[in-house]
Amino acid sequence: MKSKKQIQSVSSRPASPAGRPPIVAVLGHVDHGKTTLLDYIRKANVASHEHGGITQHIGAYQVETNSRLITFIDTPGHEAFAKMRSRGASAADIAILVVAADDSVKPQTKESIEQIKAAHVPMVVAVNKIDLPGATVDRVKKDLAKVGVQVEGFGGDVPIVSVSAKQGTGIVELLDMILLVSDMKGLEGSPDAPFLAHVIETRLDKGRGMVATLIIKSGTLRSGMVLFEGDRQIAKVRACFDEYGKGVSEALPSKPVEVLGFTILPTIGTVVSNEPGVSVVTVPKKKLTNDMPDFLKPMEEEEQKLKIILKADTAGSLEAIGASLPKGVTVVSTGIGDVGEADVLLGKSSGSIVIGFNVGTKPAVVKLAQTEKVIFRSYTIIYELLDEVNDVVSGLKVALVEERELGVGKVIAEFPFEKDRIAGIKVVSGRLAKGDSVKIMRGESEIGRAKIKSLRHGKDNITKAEQSNECGVLFDQKLDFTIGDGIIAVTIG
């Protein structure tokens, strides 16, 4: 067994003696260990930095083994990221299908197989988690055969390697197999050839502007180079960074880099060039409207049930979420970057919920949403977002789109205070707190709304009054309340 030291992460090295380094996509079902496998190979714990422990963006990394380079594309396993996985497979020269030995073939395994076949790239099966109780490699081979993948030793010629990503068992053998398949394929991609690069991901960065992740297919990327998508000039390269954030002056074939200097974000899944007229789409696309796939356009009126405004950190996230939304959802607007005041105001005018995925929101924007009674939700895990939206569409989670009760009180007295009136309240249920939005109820009728400006218990100022407690409430505006009225603290969401 070779030592771990022979697997080294690198930022820039010459191309492989056999041509350019192979670009390898790692695909498979969620939780089958794709990212853990790459973690072991490149000595970096990406999974711990991903919300919920799943990989939610495509990452590309280059490693060295046996003095040769291999570029890996880590593709997310959750079903919502099918298009991102498809882009990964299409950009790759070789695909690693990761299957857990204790779980065997699952839905995203089958989907990954279809994407690999559609991309016409050779496949290597990595049977992971062989260290776990219940691990059965023969079962995996049988289940793969049922879905049309015949591995070596089981009637076929697809290479198969048993590994444990946690313990490192079989990793060197897997890398050797990748190099062997690469040599058999005879990859081409000269540093002196015309420049072509796959667009893996795009995003907006507050400090750096438009950023795109590229993997060089041929030629050399250099600072100052002008880039085109088809006939459209989209960038003059200002800076390039490797997967570790280190600046690089040039990038050779198969090198993954983050590139700055875009004036127009390229379309994910395409190939960009340093000359106009080259237009290559690596995966089937739908028509574009405002640089977004047409599944994000509003649906027909008769289908409308829930309107949303969607903001996300990257174009890939928007694509994945948009493709996974249930029928009956109308996407009024989409965008990359933080939720802003314009999104809230559009939400108010269109009657939409504002949803943010992996984006920030300034306190002033949150306050505006509260003032304008616009429902705002923020998520960091895609399946939580989709589950809640599905629940709303199915009518199972009315609380998301209705007022939620925080506490109920009853007016039992009133006291004059300078030019104001203080309501003597007994808390019947829940709690009342300073800053709460409240509505005043007289029987079944709402007579007004306000916020709690201050709370007092005797001579003491308090911030909250719990059930069965009594307090004095001063509202932020004059209300025509009377003894016997109800006071209900509410929040939207």
Q: Which of 53, 4, 59, 11 is nearest to 30 (CA)?
A: 53
**Lowest mean pLDDT, pick from 140-144, 283-287, 358-362:** 283-287
CATH architecture observed for domain 403-492? Beta Barrel (2.40)
- Which pLDDT belongs to residue 105? 93
Class of domain 4-185 (CATH, top level): alpha beta
Contact between residue 200 and residue 253 where contact means Cβ atoms under 8 Å apart: no
Average pLDDT over residues 18-45: 81
Q: Which two tokens stand for residue 426?
A: 């007994």
Cα distances (Å, whole numbers) of residue 306 to 60, 233, 309, 321, 331: 36, 38, 10, 15, 8
Percentages helix, strand, coil for the chain (3-state, rounded to 5) are 25, 40, 35
Mean pLDDT of 135-162: 93
Q: Give the residue carrying structure tokens 């314009």.
A: 342
In the numeric block, which tokens belong to residue 240? 């390039």
Q: Who's near 114: CB < 8 A, 6+ residues apart?
A: none
302-311+323-399 shares its CATH topology with 403-492: no
Residues 65-88: b if buried by 16+ CB within 10 A, e if exposed: beebbbbbbbbbbbbbbbbbbbbb
Sequential DSSP letters for 398-449: GGGTSEEEEEEEEEEEEEEETTEEEEEEEEEEEEEETT-EEEEEETTEEEEE
Report the DSSP pairing between strands 403-417 and 420-433: antiparallel
- Looking at the predicted structure, is the pLDDT value of residue 287 above 90? no
Question: For the chain, what are the domain ranges?
Answer: 4-185, 196-281, 302-311+323-399, 403-492
Split at pLDDT 50, 70, 90, the class of 411 is very high
Q: Which residue has the higher pLDDT, 343 or 55?
A: 343
Pick the most confident of 24-28, 123-127, 154-158, 208-212.
123-127
pLDDT in tens, 341-355: 888 888 887 888 899
- Which positions ≥6 away from 269 have C-beta within 8 Å? 83, 86, 87, 90, 199, 281, 282, 283, 285
* Torsion angle defined by CA atoms of residues 11, 17, 18 and 19, in that order, rounded to the nearest 10 degrees: 60
Q: Which two tokens stand for residue 45?
A: 């714990």
Distances (CA, A) of 167 to 40, 96, 132, 160, 392: 9, 19, 11, 18, 43
* pLDDT given at position 52: 57
- Using DSSP's 3-state secondary structure scheme, residue 366 falls into helix
Token duo for residue 282: 């690596």
Asked whether the beta carbons of 52 and 380 are under 8 A apart, the reply is yes
Strands 470-475 and 445-457: antiparallel
Look at residues 273, 288, 169 and name the one whose alpha carbon lies nearest to residue 225. 273
Q: Which of 65-69, 72-76, 226-230, 375-379 has the lowest mean pLDDT?
A: 72-76
Q: Is 430 left (phi over 0), alpha (psi -120 to 50) or beta?
A: left
pLDDT in the model for residue 64? 84
Tell me the C-alpha distance between 60 and 258, whole Å: 10
Tell me the HSE value of 5 on the side-chain side, using a 13 A CA sphere. 0
- Looking at residue 48, its pLDDT comes to 52
pLDDT of residue 15: 42
Topology of domain 196-281 in CATH is Elongation Factor Tu (Ef-tu); domain 3 (2.40.30)
Contact 185, 94 (CB under 8 A): yes
Fold classified for 302-311+323-399: Rossmann fold (3.40.50)
Q: Is the pLDDT of residue 372 over 80?
A: no
The per-residue pLDDT for 396 is 44
pLDDT tens digits along 76-134: 655 555 555 556 667 889 989 999 999 999 988 988 898 888 888 899 999 999 999 98
**Which two three-digit tokens encode residue 363?**
């306190």
pLDDT confidence of residue 291: 37
